[in-house]
Amino acid sequence: MTTATEVMKPPRTEVGVLGWLKKNLFGTWYDALLTVGSVAFISVVLYGVTNWALTGAKWGVVTTNIKVFMVGRYPYSEIWRIWASIGLFAVMAAITGVVWRLNIARARRAVTISWIVVSLLTVVLLAGFGENTPIPRVPLAIWSGLMLTLTLGIVGIVASFPIGVLLALGRRSNLPVIKVFSTMFIEIVRGVPLITVLFIAMLMLPLFLPASISGRLSNVLRVMVGMTLFSAAYVAENVRGGLQAIPKGQYEAGRAVGLNEAYVMALIVLPQALRAMIPAIVGQFISLYKDTSLVVIVGLLDLLGIAKAVTGQTEWIGTQKEVFAFAGVIYFITCSALSYASRRLEKQLGVGER
Amino acid sequence: MSAIAVARQRTLRVLRDERFLRALGQAVFAIAVVLFVAWCLSNYRDRGLTFTFRFLREEASFDLAEGMAFSPVDPYWKAFIVGLLNTIKVAFFGIIMATILGTVTGVARLSRNWLISNIAGVYIEIIRNTPVLVQLFFLYFAVILKFPSLEDRIVLPGPIFISIRGINLTWPRPTESFAYWLPFLIGAVIVAVGIYAWRVLLERRTRRPVSRLPWTFIALAVPLLGWFLVPGNPLYPDRPAVEGLKVVGGTSLSPEFAAILFGLVIYTAAFIAEVVRAGIMAVPRGQTEAARAQGFTEMQILQLVILPQALRIIIPPLISQYLNLTKNSSLAIAIAFLDLYAVSSTMLNQSGRVVEVFLMIMAAYLSMSLTISVLMNYVNRRLAPVER
């Protein structure tokens, strides 16, 4: 017998487009019903949104005010300084990427140090010096728009991290005074809304400082203090979770090889705890970044504050939909980028793997 | 060895003693904190500021348009209570609605239906990646404040009126015969508890899984029976109607209340959906398969195998979502809903009592947070499986 065995093809309804449709959309009669309903829902929403975006919406309010959205009241003649800062960061990011990709171990420390230098340089560049210098002073109080949002986010993240770690260590400490202090701080801050913390920083803080100091604190600075302390309490809880996950044997082994408690913490326990908690901490940072929008309630002009101010312009009455949708899209893009980056970081550090 | 050398050695030993160092470090820290607080307080006093809650009994002289009846001659403390009740109202209804929407979305995200799962996914991603305040502003300024005037109101069956004045709903109101019906309502609760207890006992005795919840619905028959026994109808539908420039009858949600409630529900539900999804996914497939192999029905599998395990994972993060919703209700101030926070900030501006009012705000939020955690932790403990 030479006839080849007939290869039986799978049923037409199980593979290809038809199979996919059957499996994913029309599995059962109620599945089919749901699918039809969803298609109707999607078409109505899509039609409504595109129709509005293409014909009804006055996007002029966004294009005319784009500079205001981005930098707010930052003097327009000085905008090159912002571009220069963005350029610096882009170059640094590129260098970092190359160094990490090629795994040049020696360059890593140099890259870390230059990140710090570049960051300080940017602050100086953006804030400037006195009157008659090439880069005149732009006080923090007039920083606004997306620039303020990013500044608040970055400062909050950078400053709240070390404070959060200290608080977490304090809460786990066996020194009762420090433990009670840290626990009370964390629990009180986590129990009240961010708004109260911001208002306390704005209104109450100055009352408890001598007039000479509180007079010099700009609103932006006060808000930064409030946001940092607020976020630190949440970071502390995340770090504490990480610390609890480290087996006791790690401490004991560290002590056994003769390290004192501080070294055990700094060299053995903390690095492992932080690595395990990266997803949670990044999630906390993303929510801190989103929470910067709350400063609009205490009267600061961040991206959302500018958006609200723009809707009040007489020539753009009734454009709330366009303006808030635009602000939402910017937040969406930045937040998605952050969470994408965190997923990459997790993968690279092999969180969850051993 | 001279006496001095001995004494020095003893001092050194004390100085190197870890217990002594610990005590010293803590004492220094405590003193530093106390000194800092004292410094702050002295600065406070230097400004000529005092600390007293006496202003609470004074006349508030502002009006509150939301919640309990309040007039400008009422004292400050009453204004604070009105605000607190408004916040509790938002938190209470918000938690219930967000739980329902979030569970439905979470289950939809896990649906085998590709379209349903992706609609839920897009909703979750959009909501989670934008600030809640942007959503609230959009909902209030761009949607609710753009609703048609009362004349051109949208009428949904019910009737429900949607207009710039807010949302007016039909609402059941008790009549005179409600008093006769009340015993039947209480009876229904007693019967429901009785049936539940009986089913639990049955399960213990037969050592076989017994469905409990569906059976308790039998108790609904009691008030239904009562409805026909009682003279007249105990409840009547109070329908909204437009009279001139006003809506009379029914119950109404102000635009601000609708914005803060729906805004928070939409926001929190996206997070709850993720919590629910993670909880269900954490139950291994083998559990379902094993239960099915033993002949459990689908309903029993859900009730006795999947839910008890999933809930254990779901409840702790769910607690923090409830807490977040309650705390986020303070954003009402941005859209002029008169919640605890908004009322307090008016109090603060009028009386100038910054520190006192802030202490009251913090105390109120802390006690609400505490209440929710205590309640939910109790539920969590009840659900926890008995460890061997």
Here the tokens at position A4 are: 């080849």
Give every CB contact of residue B2 below 8 A, 6+ residues apart in sequence: none
Closest CA to A85 of A123, A141, A136, A140: A123
How close does chain B come to A169, measured CA to CA in Å?
14
Q: Quick one: which H or E segment has residue A223?
A: helix A219-245
Confidence of residue B101 (pLDDT cuts 50, 70, 90): very high
Q: Which of A39-48, B77-86, B167-176, B265-274 has the lowest average pLDDT?
A: B167-176
How close does chain B come to A345, measured CA to CA in Å?
19
**A287 in reach of chain B (CB within 8 A):** no
Given a cut of 90, whether residue B113 has pLDDT beyond it is: no
Here the tokens at position B188 are: 């229904």
Pairing mode, if any, of strands B251-253 and B166-169?
Answer: antiparallel
Alpha helices in chain B (DSSP H): 3-16, 18-46, 76-109, 114-128, 132-137, 178-206, 213-216, 221-229, 255-281, 285-293, 298-300, 307-328, 340-351, 354-383
Q: Tell me whether residues A320 and B331 touch, CB distance under 8 A.
A: no
Q: Tell me whether residues A27 and B113 touch, CB distance under 8 A.
A: yes
Q: Tell me whether residues B113 and A291 touch, CB distance under 8 A.
A: no
Residue in chain B nearest A291 by alpha carbon: B131
First to last CA, chain B: 63
Residues 221-240 of A with CB under 8 A from B: none
Size of interface A-B (CB pairs under 8 A): 152
Q: Which residues of B touch A203 (CB under 8 A)?
A: 348, 354, 358
Q: Tell me whether residues B25 and A176 touch, CB distance under 8 A.
A: no
Q: Where are the domains of chain A?
A: 72-138, 144-349
Percentage of chain A modeled with pLDDT above 90: 23
Residue A353 DSSP SS3: coil
Confidence of residue B388 (pLDDT cuts 50, 70, 90): very low
- In angstroms, how far is CA A144 from the centroid of its own chain? 18
Q: Tell me whether residues B115 and A327 touch, CB distance under 8 A.
A: no
Q: What is the pLDDT of residue A224?
A: 92
Q: What is the pLDDT of residue A212?
A: 80
In angstroms, the CA A235 to CA A282 distance is 9
Across A255-269, B206-220, B257-271, which has the greatest mean pLDDT?
B257-271
Q: Which residues of B touch A41 (CB under 8 A)?
A: 119
CB contact at 8 A, B113 and A25: yes
Q: Which residues of A touch B29 (CB under 8 A)?
A: 177-178, 181
Q: What is the pLDDT of residue A350?
A: 64
Given a cut of 50, whether residue A87 has pLDDT beyond it is: yes
pLDDT in tens, B1-25: 577 888 888 888 877 777 888 888 8
Q: What is the pLDDT of residue A290?
A: 92
CB contact at 8 A, B356 and B55: yes
Q: What does the pLDDT average to over B106-126?
A: 90
Across A130-144, B50-64, B151-165, B188-202, which has the greatest mean pLDDT?
B188-202
Residue in chain A nearest B120 by alpha carbon: A38
Confidence of residue B363 (pLDDT cuts 50, 70, 90): very high
Q: Tell me whether residues B141 and A291 touch, CB distance under 8 A.
A: no
Q: What is the pLDDT of residue B103?
A: 92
Q: Give the mean pLDDT of chain B.
A: 86
CB contact at 8 A, B244 and B133: no
Percentage of chain B modeled with pLDDT above 70: 98
Residues 97-156 of A with CB under 8 A from B: none
Torsions phi, psi of B137, nearest 5? -60, -45
- Kindly report whether the peptide bond that precedes residue B159 is cis, defined as omega within 30 degrees of 0: yes
Q: What does the pLDDT average to over B200-226?
A: 81
**A247 in reach of chain B (CB within 8 A):** no
Q: Is A188 exposed, middle or buried (0-12, 13-18, 19+ CB in 10 A)?
A: middle
Residue A84 DSSP SS3: helix
Mutate to test the interface with A, among B133, B135, B337 (most CBs of A within 10 A): B133
Closest CA to A295 of B339, B334, B347, B341: B334
Confidence of residue A317 (pLDDT cuts 50, 70, 90): confident
Residue in chain B nearest A333 by alpha carbon: B129
Q: Where are the domains of chain B?
A: 3-46, 76-170+239-383
| A34, A199, A208 ranked by CB distance to B44: nearest | A208
pLDDT in tens, A201-220: 888 888 888 888 777 788 88
In angstroms, the CA B137 to CA A293 distance is 11
How close does chain A come to B96, measured CA to CA in Å?
20
Q: Given phi > 0 = left and psi -120 to 50 = alpha, else beta, which region is A128? A: left
Q: Quick one: which H or E segment has residue A16?
A: helix A16-24
Q: What is the pLDDT of residue A125?
A: 83
Mutate to test the interface with A, among B134, B274, B366 (most CBs of A within 10 A): B134
In angstroms, the CA B234 to CA B95 distance is 29
Packing angle of the helix pair A270-291, A219-245 (nearest 10 deg): 140
| B29, B49, B129 ranked by CB distance to A336: nearest | B129
In angstroms, the CA A26 to CA A42 distance is 17
CB contact at 8 A, B313 and B57: no
| A24, A192, A327 ranked by CB distance to B114: nearest | A24
Confidence of residue B366 (pLDDT cuts 50, 70, 90): very high
Given a cut of 50, whether residue A354 has pLDDT beyond it is: no
pLDDT in tens, A321-347: 889 999 999 999 999 998 888 888 777
**A211 in reach of chain B (CB within 8 A):** yes
Q: Tell me whether residues B115 and A42 touch, CB distance under 8 A.
A: yes
Tell me how many degrees the CA angle B175-B180-B182 measures, rounded to the nearest 5: 90
Q: Tell me whether residues B29 and A325 touch, CB distance under 8 A.
A: no
In angstroms, the CA B195 to CA A231 distance is 49
Q: Report the C-alpha dihedral over residues A276, A278, A280, A285, rounded to 10 degrees.
A: 160
- ipTM value for the complex: 0.85
Across B88-92, B108-112, B239-243, which has the greatest mean pLDDT?
B88-92
Give every CB contact of residue A238 below 8 A, 6+ residues apart in sequence: A164, A168, A277, A280, A281, A284
Q: Quick one: which H or E segment has residue A196?
A: helix A194-199
Closest CA to B355 of B147, B49, B81, B9: B49
Name the amino acid, one letter, at B47.
R
Given a cut of 90, whether residue B270 has pLDDT beyond it is: yes
Q: Tell me whether residues B138 and A325 touch, CB distance under 8 A.
A: yes
What distance separates the 2 farthest-apart alpha carbons in chain B? 106
Q: What does the pLDDT average to over B145-165?
A: 84
Q: Tell me whether residues B358 and A209 touch, CB distance under 8 A.
A: no
**A290 in reach of chain B (CB within 8 A):** yes
| A196, A210, A331 ranked by CB distance to B131: nearest | A331
Q: What does the pLDDT average to over A1-11?
A: 64
The CATH number that domain A144-349 falls under is 1.10.3720.10
In angstroms, the CA B359 to CA B295 distance is 59
Percentage of chain A modeled with pLDDT above 70: 95
- Which CATH entry fits the domain spanning B76-170+239-383: 3.30.360.10, 3.40.50.1820, 1.10.3720.10, 2.170.270.10? 1.10.3720.10
Q: Alpha carbon of B166 to those of A158, B148, B231: distances in Å?
A: 43, 10, 36
Q: Tell me whether residues A324 and B366 touch, CB distance under 8 A.
A: no
| A178, A204, A328 ranked by CB distance to B29: nearest | A178
Torsions phi, psi of A260, nearest 5? -85, 175
Packing angle of the helix pair B307-328, B354-383 (nearest 10 deg): 170
Residue B252 DSSP SS3: strand
Q: What is the pLDDT of residue A18?
A: 76
Q: Tell me whether residues B362 and A196 touch, CB distance under 8 A.
A: yes
Q: What is the pLDDT of residue A5?
A: 65
Q: What does the pLDDT average to over A108-118?
A: 85
How close does chain B come to A272, measured CA to CA in Å?
24
Closest CA to B262 of B167, B327, B339, B338: B167
| A24, A192, A210 ranked by CB distance to B113: nearest | A24
Q: Report the C-alpha dihedral over residues A320, A321, A327, A333, rounded to 10 degrees.
A: 180
Torsions phi, psi of A265, nearest 5? -60, -50
Q: What does the pLDDT average to over B208-234?
A: 79
CB contact at 8 A, B269 and B98: yes
Bigger pLDDT: B307 or A253? A253
